[in-house]
Amino acid sequence: MQKSSRTLDCVGLFCPMPIMKTKQELDAMKSGEILEILADDPAFEKDLPAWCKATGEKFLGLTKENGIFKGYVKKL
Q: Where are the domains of the chain?
A: 6-74
Euclidean distance between CA atoms 56 and 47, whole angstroms? 14
Q: What is the pTM of this model?
A: 0.94
Please give the sequence-ordered ranges of beta strands (E in DSSP) within 2-76, or none if there are none.
6-9, 34-39, 58-65, 68-74
- Model confidence at 1: pLDDT above 80: no
- Residues 36-64: what's their mean pLDDT? 97
Hey, what CATH topology would domain 6-74 get? Translation Initiation Factor IF3 (3.30.110)
Query: Which residues are the active-site residues?
Result: 15
Q: How far apart are the first and last CA of the chain?
A: 17
- Model confidence at 3: pLDDT above 90: no
- Residues 31-56: what's their mean pLDDT? 97
Short-list 14, 12, 67, 74, CA closest to 49:
74
